[in-house]
Structure 1
Amino acid sequence: MTSETVLWMFPALLALIILGIPIAFSMMLVALGFGFMRFGDIVILQFAQRVDEVATNYVLGAIPLFIFMGAILERAGIAERLFDALYMWTRRLPGGLAIAALLMCTIFAAASGVVGATETLVGMLAIPAMLKRKYNHSLISGTVCGGGSLGTVIPPSIPVIVLAPIAALPVGDLLAGILVPGMLMSTMFMLYILIACALKPSLAPGETEPDPRSFAEKMSFTLSALVPPMVLIATVLGTLFTGLATPTEAAACGSFGVLILALFYRRLTFRMLLAASLQTVSLTAMILAIVLAGSLFSGVFFASGGMMAVRGILDSFGLEAWSVVALLLGITFVLGFALDLISIVLIMMSIAVPILALYGVDPLWFAIIFLVTLQTSYLTPPMAPSIFYLRAIAPSEITLTQMYWGVIPFICCQVIVLALVILFPALATWMPRFIYG
């Protein structure tokens, strides 16, 4: 098998996915087929070594712990109190309920790192409240989808944990690097809602009745609702950024902390713990199966001379570093229509890292703009996964067309953030240098 032949792995993978075969199994089958063609029976031994590498990867141990955190947060009643507390302060602002929902998404993205869980949880709380107050359906859709997608670019993020070892980057550097773009994106989302609803009040009718609670009562309720999850976030991110704990150890601290919170709110029951554990096992098995499949796929691709074939194609077109970066980001964006986030990370970063090293591109900076691009594709119709999550929890009165129109302003905000990080790389590299020197 020649190095050019190995490029057919990608069309073969796409064909299997179109046929309806799960992504993990598709990657495994393609890797097995092309591996036999190139190496014969010895590919089985190579696959066994890859299984051992994934199974003993200490960093990946953080994945089930972060998923467990999200599952407990979803069931412990913490979200309802926090949402009420946030809305209590934003209710007089234009689009105050939508702004509260985005604040919720930001906080829970920083607490759990699980994208789908954040969107589902906040959507189930915010959608009925916004419908009751006659909010525009497109605004509702864009708010929930845009806010839910923040889990990709606000640490701790599971795609970041998977990406770090592939890019040979410290997880702490990558989490610190994505923090500024993530918070910038969240801020831009809220500014858009504030400006749009101020210019067109019919998008989000304002509250007419004053809050009967006194300032002291508001502060007391806010502190009781906000402080515990913020302590949890500070524990996870603080121990990560200061170097006191590895990602897995920080996730373990967070898992223990969320159990304490559930106990504090008197929601910790055996039934709830069992449901959260089963959800954790299910999601972890799915993610790690994709990680393993991606490892097998990339292993066969590299060992068969795939990188030489890709470099030969790039050289034949005479592409410069910027052109290569643009090409890789464009492919990433298109793959977001068909593949899940973890699969794209495994496939694209495995190819991109060695190529970009030849062109002298900063891997940390590229990893950040890669994640922002990935989040943008996650939100972009027609195959936007965020819209599929919303469709599962939204009532029938919110149509698919309204969802598509609703996400467009938020996509524009993401594109602006992407352009800023590309033009000003310090937005991605300043925080890691500030923290770690």
Structure 2
Amino acid sequence: MLTSILLFVVAFLFLFVGIPVAFAFGGAALLVALLSPEASLSILSLLPSRIYGIMSNATLMAMPLFIFMGLVLEKSGMAEKLLRNIGRLFGSIRGGMAIGVVAVGVLLAASTGVVGASVVMMGVIAVPAMLKSGYSPALSSGVVAASGTLGQIIPPSIVLILLGDVMQVSVGDLFAAAIVPSLILVLFYVFFILALAFLKPALAPALKGEEGESLRGVILETLQTSLPPIGLIIIVLGGIFLGVVTPTEAAALGAMGSILLTLFLRSFSLELLRYAAIQTVVFSGMIFAILIGASAFTLVFNDAGGGDLIFDFFSDHLGSPWAFIWVAMGVVFLLGFFIDFIEICFVVVPLFVPLVGHFGIDPIWFAMLLAINLQTSFLTPPFGFALFYLKGAVGDKLKTSAIYQGAVPFILLQLLLLGIVVAFPAVIVY
């Protein structure tokens, strides 16, 4: 028991002193296995076979391909044109620019799924325009950060791919299960913006159209910029839902489709290809490095009896599946304040998997609860990654306090969605 606790303490100490996540968890495993009598250093001899299994995992192969697809679309300028045109389309109503940002966030989530790229791009373009138009700093920052994180739940979500692998469930089923909760969350965002604009018009004023600009022209231009990525989304996700292709095959189609789109729209360049390839390697390498470090961590943790300890605690002291669900959700939510979703997926979620089977809980439903919960980790201060991305993108245009203040209503909306999915499991359809 002491070794299991010590393992987490050492890992968190390493994180707080600035050691990269992969080395923090891997280093903690090595140090504790070396010094503790309850764990054996020889258990790490299993790590090479674990690494081989990770690298040959067909499900995880989809992740870098979807990342590549998103980076190509982002670098090609399609996302930027989309944001500008949708902003013009909705700007004539109160809160319209904010609703436009949500709409763009949905399309970016379904076509890129890369939170950092979405938040930075929308922060650079949308935030200055919203502030100039009289929007409150808190609403401007909150809607951009929250819309940028929609890629964590809207397919093809990297979180869902990782959860599918960790929980050994179908990624295609997870993608299908995420559709209804995603729509509910987007509607929550839109209704919140409309209600706020109605109650406090000064926070989200309507915009005057540019002189000589016709609504028909704006609609046609918006359709022209939105139809290509929407077509790619339909091909990729439609193929998965119809069972024509696996998620990994669909990811490959998406990656190739994004290149063909840039050729069709005459935005392809070798620099674009180089950027997308390098950033895909960097981002994927980071995730796989964390996965390897987490594998070492879980090997030592289980060798020290930590897995059995947690299983016995939940099964004996929290005999109700509902007690387990609420405690698990509370743990994930609190950890989201301090560590990233990747570490939670690879270190914490595997501890819950045996208990999901023990209590007879639907693993797809439980995975969706985790995905919704993990989405909040991007917005929760002090270490919400979307908040950092946004602050880096806008610089001095927004105070950190305004960014934190703006995130709070959207965190509450995400928790409301979590409560609805817990109370009404039927909303998960797959």
**TM-score normalized with structure 1 length:** 0.93
Partner of 1:435: none
Tell me how far 1:363 sits from its aligned partner: 1.4
Q: Equivalences for 1:140-289 in 2 at 5 Å? A: 140-209=140-209, 212-214=212-214, 216-289=216-289
The separation in 2 between residues aligned to 1:28 and 1:293, in whole angstroms, is 4
Partner of 1:423: 423
The separation in 2 between residues aligned to 1:116 and 1:147, in whole angstroms, is 11
Counterpart AA for 1:105: G
The separation in 1 between residues aligned to 2:211 and 2:362, in whole angstroms, is 51
Partner of 1:376: 376
2:304 counterpart of 1:309: no
Asked if the contact 1:4/1:309 (under 8 Å) is kept, the reply is no
The separation in 2 between residues aligned to 1:409 and 1:139, in whole angstroms, is 9
Point out the more displaced range, 84-93 or 212-221.
Answer: 212-221
The separation in 1 between residues aligned to 2:252 and 2:261, in whole angstroms, is 14
Partner of 1:82: 82
Q: Equivalences for 1:55-94 in 2 at 5 Å? A: 55-94=55-94
Tell me how far 1:156 sits from its aligned partner: 0.7
Q: Over aligned residues, Cα RMSD in angstroms? A: 1.9
Counterpart AA for 1:168: Q
2:355 counterpart of 1:355: yes
Tell me how far 1:421 sits from its aligned partner: 0.4
Counterpart AA for 2:279: Q
The separation in 2 between residues aligned to 1:265 and 1:122, in whole angstroms, is 22
Paired-residue identity, %: 36
Question: Deviations along 1:271-313, whole A, 9 cap, x unmatched?
Answer: 2211221111111111111122222222332344322211333
Q: Pick from 7, 16, 27: which aligns with 1:9?
A: 7
The separation in 1 between residues aligned to 2:134 and 2:368, in whole angstroms, is 38
Tell me how far 1:382 sits from its aligned partner: 2.7
**TM-score normalized with structure 2 length:** 0.94
2:111 counterpart of 1:115: no
Asked if the contact 2:26/2:293 (under 8 Å) is kept, the reply is yes
**Structure 1's 268 and 210: CA in aligned 2 closer, same or farther, altered over 3 A?**
closer
The separation in 2 between residues aligned to 1:368 and 1:202, in whole angstroms, is 37
**Structure 1's 209 and 226: CA in aligned 2 closer, same or farther, altered over 3 A?**
closer
In structure 1, runs of 5+ residues without a counterpart are 433-437
Tell me how far 1:241 sits from its aligned partner: 1.3
Asked if the contact 1:291/1:346 (under 8 Å) is kept, the reply is yes
Point out the more displaced range, 84-93 or 113-122.
Answer: 84-93
Asked if the contact 1:77/1:265 (under 8 Å) is kept, the reply is no
Tell me how far 1:54 sits from its aligned partner: 0.8
The separation in 1 between residues aligned to 2:42 and 2:261, in whole angstroms, is 51
Asked if the contact 1:78/1:265 (under 8 Å) is kept, the reply is no
2:322 counterpart of 1:336: no
Tell me how far 1:373 sits from its aligned partner: 1.1
The separation in 1 between residues aligned to 2:362 and 2:205, in whole angstroms, is 47
Structure 2 counterpart SS, 1:396: helix
Structure 2 counterpart SS, 1:337: coil
Tell me how far 1:260 sits from its aligned partner: 1.4
Tell me how far 1:209 sits from its aligned partner: 3.6
**Structure 1's 326 and 84: CA in aligned 2 closer, same or farther, altered over 3 A?**
same
Question: Deviations along 1:285-342, whole A, 9 cap, x unmatched?
Answer: 1111112222222233234432221133335634421111111111111111221111
Asked if the contact 1:7/1:309 (under 8 Å) is kept, the reply is no
Point out the more displaced range, 242-251 or 315-324.
Answer: 315-324
The separation in 2 between residues aligned to 1:337 and 1:352, in whole angstroms, is 19
Structure 2 counterpart SS, 1:207: coil
Partner of 2:18: 20
The separation in 2 between residues aligned to 1:324 and 1:250, in whole angstroms, is 35
Tell me how far 1:138 sits from its aligned partner: 0.5
Question: How many equivalent pairs are there?
Answer: 428
Counterpart AA for 1:221: E
Tell me how far 1:399 sits from its aligned partner: 0.6
The separation in 1 between residues aligned to 2:205 and 2:3, in whole angstroms, is 60
2:408 counterpart of 1:408: yes
The separation in 2 between residues aligned to 1:167 and 1:12, in whole angstroms, is 26
Asked if the contact 1:94/1:206 (under 8 Å) is kept, the reply is yes
**Structure 1's 222 and 208: CA in aligned 2 closer, same or farther, altered over 3 A?**
closer
Asked if the contact 2:92/2:209 (under 8 Å) is kept, the reply is no
Q: Pick from 17, 27, 30: which aligns with 1:29?
A: 27
Question: Deviations along 1:12-40, whole A, 9 cap, x unmatched?
Answer: 21122122211111111122234455664
The separation in 2 between residues aligned to 1:407 and 1:88, in whole angstroms, is 24
Asked if the contact 1:69/1:258 (under 8 Å) is kept, the reply is yes
Counterpart AA for 1:369: L
**Structure 1's 330 and 39: CA in aligned 2 closer, same or farther, altered over 3 A?**
closer
Asked if the contact 1:85/1:226 (under 8 Å) is kept, the reply is no
The separation in 2 between residues aligned to 1:12 and 1:238, in whole angstroms, is 45
